[in-house]
Structure 1
Amino acid sequence: MNDIVNYWGFLTACILLNLTPGSDTIYILTRTIAEGKKAGLMSSFGILTGFFVHILAVSVGLAQIIAHSPTLFAVLKYAGAGYLGWLGIKMWKQPFLVHQVNLDKLPLWQIYRQGLITNLLNPKVILFFLALLPQFVATNVENTFLPFFLLGLTSLSTTTIWVIILVLAAYPLGNLLRSNPKIGASMNKICGAIFIALAIKIGLE
């Protein structure tokens, strides 16, 4: 911990950044409202797994290679945008699930995998870590693996708490909307449109 500078400042920054709406937040909220609590949690766990992979990539230096290669960065960005757009089209076409018995039949492993892929293909996570972590590591540190990894785990911890809060908060809203036949009939189209809009936003950034 001696290699880390102003740890509590970093923790505060992580919490404040969690409160800033981003693509992961919108993805989790949309998935929870449309498909229920289990789908929201599995999406969250997938995103958190991707988050951990990014932490490892930054800690071992792989992320620096991606960030400094315009080609690799562009491939990741457009692949992520394309995948999110495909998920949006898929959700647009599928029927809205009203009853809990149908929600319980959702392929949770597939939902987890989709959350994982959307996060892994988001190069902004790499830029976030590369911009933030070095500011909280002592300048005389030669091997940055451990401080980067510990700071990354701190960020992962605050994010885990935040996404669980998101799911628990969005779940009752999803139930309320699901009970309204008029809203329920168009819910998947609305959620699919949100995913497609996110994909366009990511592709244009």
Structure 2
Amino acid sequence: MPEAKTWIAFVLICLGMALTPGPNMLYVVSRSISQGRWAGVVSLIGTAAGFIVYLVCASLGITALLMAAPIAYDVLRFGGALYLGWLAWHAIKPGAAAPFQVRDLPKDSPRKLIAMGFLTNLLNPKAAMLYLSLLPQFIHPEHGHVLTQSLALGLSQILVSMTVNGTICFAAGTIAAFLSARPGFALIQRWLMATVLGGLALRMATEARGR
């Protein structure tokens, strides 16, 4: 098992990432507002399945393979940075929609909601970077079995993400109503989102390669 201080540091980072608007949050919020809270919860199950795929891959050693190959790591890093930069631009471009803006979306079945949530997270560069570059930094072979540490940290991250986004599912309607009645807050929200995403993109593009 990871040391307590290592686990706490990892959980705090995961909490900060979960609170940062990204593909998962945008998808879950849009479904919660357009199709109801339980549609958002069902969509959340799909995103959890995506995290589990990353966790299994990381635990089985694919992380080590990618981290040992500079080209593969850099492709993932710059690709993720470009994607986050694209999201930041779309948050502030003229006519852009805020995450909590009400949208008219088709009513999808639970199976489709789960499948779309799964694909959204599987293609989420933030999730990929978390498991392929961040998670290995918190695993120390001298503190126990690497597989056990990977599973403990990965499951903790999934729990944090599901808790944050699950809470947002049930509050999305209230937040959307609040922002729609206050256009100034919606504008601030969009710029705040763009700033956070842009900062993440810049950091991802310029960070030093992990071990």
The TM-score with structure 1 as length reference comes to 0.64
Partner of 1:172: 174
Residue 182 to residue 161, structure 1, CA distance change in 2 (3 Å):
closer
Distance (Å, rounded) in 2 between the aligned partners of 1:183 and 1:50? 32
Structure 1 contact 50–116 (Cα < 8 Å) conserved: yes
Partner of 2:64: 64
The 5-angstrom pairing of residues 1-205 of structure 1 reads 4=1, 12-19=8-15, 21-22=16-17, 24-28=18-22, 31=26, 35=30, 37-38=32-33, 48-91=48-91, 92=93, 96=97, 100=102, 102-105=103-106, 113-119=119-125, 122-134=128-140, 137-138=143-144, 141=145, 144-145=146-147, 148-168=150-170, 172-181=174-183, 183-184=185-186, 186=187, 190=191, 193-194=194-195, 195-205=197-207
Q: 54-63 or 89-98, which moves further after superposition?
A: 89-98
Structure 2 contact 84–200 (Cα < 8 Å) conserved: yes
Distance (Å, rounded) in 2 between the aligned partners of 1:187 and 1:49? 33
Deviation track 1:98-153 (CA, whole Å, cap 9, x = no partner) reads 985x3444996667644432246743432322122336852xx5xx4455335422
Distance (Å, rounded) in 1 between the aligned partners of 2:54 and 2:28? 27
> What amino acid is aligned across from residue 179 of structure 2 in structure 1?
L
Deviation track 1:36-72 (CA, whole Å, cap 9, x = no partner) reads 7458768865654443233112211110111122211
Distance (Å, rounded) in 2 between the aligned partners of 1:161 and 1:125? 19
Report the 3-state secondary structure (helix = DSSP H, G, I; strand = E; otherwise coil) of the residue aligned with 1:27.
coil
Residue 86 to residue 113, structure 1, CA distance change in 2 (3 Å):
farther
Identity level (%): 18
Distance (Å, rounded) in 1 between the aligned partners of 2:105 and 2:172? 17
Residue 106 to residue 134, structure 1, CA distance change in 2 (3 Å):
farther
Name stretches of at least 5 consecutive residues in structure 2 with no aligned partner.
Answer: 35-39
Distance (Å, rounded) in 2 between the aligned partners of 1:72 and 1:136? 27
Report the 3-state secondary structure (helix = DSSP H, G, I; strand = E; otherwise coil) of the residue aligned with 1:155.
helix
Residue 120 to residue 155, structure 1, CA distance change in 2 (3 Å):
closer
Deviation track 1:3-34 (CA, whole Å, cap 9, x = no partner) reads x466x666645543444x23x43125973898
Count of residue pairs the alignment pairs up: 193
Residue 13 to residue 68, structure 1, CA distance change in 2 (3 Å):
same
Residue 136 to residue 42, structure 1, CA distance change in 2 (3 Å):
farther
